[in-house]
Amino acid sequence: MSKVRRLLRLLRLEIWRQFIGWSGAWWFLVTLVVGQSVAPLLGLLIWLEVPSAGPRIGSYYLAVICVGLVTASFENHTFAQSIYSGGLATALLRPQPPVLGPLGENLAIRLWMLLLGMPLIAAVGLSVGASFSVPAVLAAVPALVLAAVLRFLWVWTLAMAAFWTERVHGVVAFGGVLILLIGGSAAPIALLPEPLRSIAQLLPFRSMLGFPAELATGTLTAAEAATGYLVALFWVGALACSAVGAWRLGIRRYSTVGA
Amino acid sequence: MRTVRLFGTAFSLALRGALAYRTNLFFDALLALVQLAASIATIGIVFTRTGLLAGWSAGQMLVLVGTYSLITGLRATFLDPSLADFSEQIRDGRLDAYLLRPANSVLLATTTRHAPVAVVQCILGVGVIISGLRELETIPSPAALAAWFLLTCAGLLIGWATSVGLASLAFWAPRLNLGVLHGAAWEFGRYPIDIYGRCIRQLLTFAFPVAVVTTWPARILVHGPDLGTLLMAVLLAAGFTAGTLLLWRLGLRRYTGATS
């Protein structure tokens, strides 16, 4: 128990350290917010032109923007860079799990993005007349946490491709295309044609983006919500195993200057 | 002529560099294919729910996506590599190397590093345009093709001018990097400007004219040339280019170089 407490304390310190560290790069963080929001904004503008998309489409895309900001992961830039530059060696020498560094930085950046994205969220919310019920938002909170975990595990695992290849940005971009297309950004999952819809409901990408937004908008039945949670939990387990496996294989290959 | 030879040499060098890493080449080409496929799939999904998107049919949208891919590919090939670290070059004085050479400094600094693999995106874009025209069962007239070519050049020039203009702000604020914002605004060209509200439409026509980049060329290729549109595009391209050149000159006056 004391070990868990110690890890949580270390994580809190890492988040705080990174939060302060990133405070000097607020302009860059604003560009990250814009970069993260442009795809769902385009999705919103397109689907507003489609009458059969339904009246809740504005609220749905506003929720997608929020989920996107809270779950954004950039380990292909941060963590992969530490592999390329040899900086990972420093993390390996510390008496703490090496994942704490990337995780703390990830959470600090997300916190900044949410703070700096508030004006955009307010502007979009007002312009589309978005509305949410409190029970629906509360039902979406655990799904949002799972989405944040899943997105980190997904990008971190893909970023570990840096142990083997120099094309890590391409690998993560490929993952990003999947999240965009069948995660709920290009179109809400309910509007996808069959069999794409059934496939999207089983893969992890909807759980990373569209599922919490659907819950917050209140468009799912209790059975659909329960199934969505089961799928999300399954993928958290599967991606956690993949991440651990990739780490163990990757760290065997890793060598740095002087090693 | 000397400038064209210079570009040719720079491209040839970049191509030889790229061909040395065949796995990277294959992977980048694959990614370009996947990204374009995702764009087309998105349009396909929308058109399972509607027959027209803001007055645009599926075939017309394919022509637009193809044009967007073509111009974005040209930008990625010839402009983006030079502009990626432009503000850093101003900050650390590497710009000196371009200013000392006997050629136009703005062209040297902004268009002489190339990424030949991105040409794949252009080729795929042309393929998508052709498939869009086939779906529409339209064969563009020579006049429409010429007008489309002119608009594509105007779009590329505007892409260059807006990128370089924003990057030139680094002369005044060296830590300012608006490249990501430019990329985000450029994304709005992925769809016809008719889907946006009136204010955004005006912005995307006159303030950051992505309308010239995709909507107008695609419309002209499908419906035939329109003199007013062509004239407006040429004026916008000329205006933005002149503005950027002016900004560059003003910026250079402030630039103190690496040894100052």
Per residue, the 3-state secondary structure of chain A, as one string, reads CHHHHHHHHHHHHHHHHHHHHHHHHHHHHHHHHHHHHHHHHHHHHHHHCCHHHCCCHHHHHHHHHHHHHHHCCCCCCHHHHHHHHCCHHHHHHCCCCCCHHHHHHHHHHHHHHHHHHHHHHHHHHHHHCCCCCHHHHHHHHHHHHHHHHHHHHHHHHHHHHHHCCCCHHHHHHHHHHHHHHHCCCCCCHHHCCCCHHHHHHHCCHHHHCHHHHHHHHCCCCHHHHHHHHHHHHHHHHHHHHHHHHHHHHHHHHCCCCCC
Cα–Cα distance between A141 and A143 in angstroms, integer? 5
Closest CB from B31, B188, B191 relative to A173: B31
Per-residue pLDDT at B16: 86
Contact: B24, A167; criterion CB under 8 Å = yes
Distances (CA, A) of A15 to A18, A74, A111, A201, B180: 5, 15, 9, 33, 25
Write out residues 101-140 of B within 8 Å (CB-CB) of A.
none
Mutate to test the interface with B, among A28, A30, A41, A49 (most CBs of B within 10 A): A49
Per-residue pLDDT at B174: 74
Chain B residues within 8 A of A191 when measuring between CB atoms: 45, 49
8 A C-beta contact, residue B150 and residue B233: yes
Read off the pLDDT of residues A162-202 as tens digits, 9 standing for 90 and up. 888 887 888 888 888 889 888 999 899 988 888 889 999 99
8 A C-beta contact, residue A22 and residue A113: no
Neighbours of B43 (CB within 10 A): 19
* Domains of chain A, residue spans: 3-253
Chain B residues within 8 A of A50 when measuring between CB atoms: 46, 49-50, 53
- Mean pLDDT, rounded, for A64-86: 88
Residues of chain B with pLDDT under 70: 258-260
**ipTM reported for the complex, 2 dp:** 0.81
Read off the pLDDT of residues B170-189 as tens digits, 9 standing for 90 and up. 888 877 777 778 888 888 88
Partners of residue B56 on adjacent β-strands:
B53
CA angle B20, B23, B29 (to 5 degrees): 105
DSSP labels, B128-167: HHHHHHHHHT----HHHHHHHHHHHHHHHHHHHHHHHHHH
Chain B residues within 8 A of A61 when measuring between CB atoms: none
Contact: A170, B28; criterion CB under 8 Å = yes
Chain A residues within 8 A of B50 when measuring between CB atoms: 49-52
Cα–Cα distance between A204 and A5 in angstroms, integer? 30
Chain B residues within 8 A of A165 when measuring between CB atoms: 27
Burial class (CB in 10 A: 0-12, 13-18, 19+), A126: exposed
Listed in sequence order, the residues at least 6 apart from B36 whose beta carbon sits closer than 8 Å to its beta carbon are B65, B69, B121, B124, B125, B128
Chain B residues within 8 A of A173 when measuring between CB atoms: 31, 35
Cα–Cα distance between B18 and B117 in angstroms, integer? 7
What secondary structure letter does DSSP report for B204? I
Read off the pLDDT of residues A91-133 as tens digits, 9 standing for 90 and up. 888 888 888 888 999 999 999 999 999 999 999 999 888 889 9
Nearest to A143 by CA among A69, A57, A229, A22: A229
Who has greater pLDDT, A147 or A88?
A: A147
* B26 half-sphere exposure, CB direction, 13 A CA radius: 3
Write out residues 16-35 of A within 8 Å (CB-CB) of B.
27-28, 31-32, 34-35
End-to-end CA distance of chain A: 35
Q: Please report, rounded to a whole number, the percentage of residues in chain A having pLDDT higher than 90.
A: 49
Mutate to test the interface with B, among A30, A167, A169 (most CBs of B within 10 A): A167
Cα–Cα distance between B113 and B229 in angstroms, integer? 32
Check if A196 contacts B (Cβ < 8 Å).
Answer: yes
Q: What SS3 state is found at B197?
A: coil
Whole-model pTM? 0.86
Distances (CA, A) of B1 to A18, A209, B15: 52, 52, 21
- Confidence band for A235, pLDDT divided at 50, 70 and 90: very high
Distance of CA A239 to the CA centre of its chain: 13
Backbone angles phi, psi at A248, to 5 degrees: -65, -40
Per-residue pLDDT at A257: 62
Distance from CA of B2 to the nearest CA of A (A): 35
Partners of residue B53 on adjacent β-strands:
B56
Check if A191 contacts B (Cβ < 8 Å).
Answer: yes
Per-residue pLDDT at B114: 84
Contact: A49, B50; criterion CB under 8 Å = yes
Per-residue pLDDT at A259: 47
Read off the pLDDT of residues B246-257 as tens digits, 9 standing for 90 and up. 998 998 888 887
